[in-house]
Structure 1
Amino acid sequence: MDLQLSGRRALITGGTKGIGRAIVEGFAAEGAAVGFCARTAADVEATEQNLKQHGVPALGRALDVADGAAVTNWVNDVAAEFGGIDIVVANVSALAIPDEEANWQTSFAVDMMGTVRLVNAALPHLERSSAASIVTISSVSGREVDFAAGPYGTFKAAIVQYTQGLAYQLAGKGIRANTVSPGNTFFEGGVWEGIKSGNPDLYEMAVGLNPTGKMGSPEEIANAVVFIASPAASRVSGTNLVVDGALTRGVQL
């Protein structure tokens, strides 16, 4: 299937590790130019250089998505460099799971407002695109109560609500908006690698809950994101695409 992404321009937050890095590479493999950000300058530079060595138009920026002005400047700079924006993917999460007041504040600033500010900054550019698409990354923890109930799960649920509102509000402008909700995803340096070594009982319980007997990979999540963002999914908007290997058992009606 031709996803019709060649020559398109995609922005991804949190694009140097895990799911975000896989999303960046997924768009690049389909011929899209990629702009991405992350907090660590060295990781941003290394990722950008790696992409450019493979002939991919790439532009990285070190920033914190909780800084609204920095997000807006980055979006506008990438749009100027690439001549526009077609796709934005709000991927960053603070992963602030414990039910503590500081984590509620951090989750609001990073997970929720990081998403809102990215979308608001990108909208003027998306309105000029012939294939505009917004994808937000939520989680199965936003769909049902699990060990991450609290700030993380609450704001992941809010992101789904926000995105479905966008889909309805922006449909008349030809801008699609969808959410992808990953299940447990394992990668080197990720939260589940830390849990595997630091809390093996929780790790084994989480693996055991999945009927596939394993966690997902960043590439499996990225494949879903790249498809739903692409013109090949032109009729899909307002959807929360759960990518969890049948982990969750609730029925979406």
Structure 2
Amino acid sequence: MELGLTGKRFLVTGGTRGIGRAVVEGLLAEGADVAFCARSADAVTDAQAELTADGSIAFGTAVDVRDQAALTDWVAHGAASLGGIDGVVANVSALSDDWLSSIEVDLMGTVGLVDAALPHLLASEAGSIVTISSVSGREIDVFAGSYGSIKAAVIHYTQGLAHQLAGQGVRANTVSPGNTYFPGGVWPAIERDDPELFKASLDLNPTGRMATAREVANAVVFLSSSAASFITGTNLLVDGALTRGVQF
């Protein structure tokens, strides 16, 4: 399937590791150009060197998405460097039980990215917004509380965008991963520090395993592409049948 991403221009937050890094790699593999950010300057420098080693176009910047002015400046710089913006992927998460951190990073980091990028997306021929939520935003699980509540808010916000922007040629979708295992992520730490919780969480999935970052990123890349041109307002679960509620 031709995804039609060659020459398209994307911004990705949280792009140095895990799902965000896999999204950047997936977009670059399809011929897109990408500007990405993360909080750690060293991680950004290392990632940019690795991502551009084959000649791909990727620009990395150290940005804390809680700083709305810095986030807005990064979007403007990314648009200037890439010559415009065709899509954004809001991937950052505080992964926290702290309400304020979850609001500032997961929700307002997403809203700030979209607000700053929207004029550029409206100028694109195929503007796309993909937000990363979680199965915890859909049902009550071990991460109920601030994390699950704010992830639910991200889904609601994104579906609202889809309805508001459909007539203006900009699509908005959410990808909600199940438990995703990658180096440096939360699950290897839980596996080490709380093996009982890790085993209980693993046992919940009928596949017998957790997702890889690449498997989640594949869904993001597809929804960001022209192959998904009539898909907007959806919340796509990538969870290996972890959730049990029927989706209508």
Q: Please give the TM-score of this superposition, normalised by the length of structure 1.
A: 0.97
Q: Which amino acid aligns with 1:176?
A: R
Once the two structures are superposed, what CA deviation does each residue of 1:168-197 show, in whole Å capped at 9, x if it has no partner? 000111000000000000011110000000
SS in 1 for 2:35: strand
SS in 1 for 2:175: strand
Moved over 4 A (4+): none
Equivalent pairs, count: 248
- Match 1:126 to one of 121, 145, 159: 121
- Equivalent residue for 1:185? 180
SS in 2 for 1:180: strand
Percent identity among equivalent residues? 62
In 1: Cα distance, 2:234 partner to 2:58 partner: 29
Q: Which amino acid aligns with 2:40?
A: T
In 2: Cα distance, 1:54 partner to 1:42 partner: 20
- Match 1:218 to one of 204, 213, 217: 213
SS in 2 for 1:127: helix
**1:54-203 matched pairs, under 5 angstroms:** 54-97=54-97, 103-203=98-198
- Equivalent residue for 2:228? 233
SS in 2 for 1:31: coil
Q: Which amino acid aligns with 1:48?
A: Q
Bigger shift: residues 45-54 or 213-222 = 45-54
Shift of 1:112: 0.4
In 1: Cα distance, 2:101 partner to 2:185 partner: 19
In 2: Cα distance, 1:173 partner to 1:48 partner: 33
Shift of 1:166: 0.0
Which consecutive unaligned segments of at least 5 residues does structure 1 have? 98-102
In 1: Cα distance, 2:224 partner to 2:53 partner: 25
Which consecutive unaligned segments of at least 5 residues does structure 2 have? none
Q: Please give the TM-score of this superposition, normalised by the length of structure 2.
A: 0.99
In 1: Cα distance, 2:182 partner to 2:80 partner: 34
In 2: Cα distance, 1:148 partner to 1:46 partner: 31
In 2: Cα distance, 1:157 partner to 1:251 partner: 17
- Equivalent residue for 2:9? 9
In 1: Cα distance, 2:197 partner to 2:173 partner: 31
SS in 2 for 1:252: coil
Shift of 1:52: 1.5
- Equivalent residue for 2:238? 243
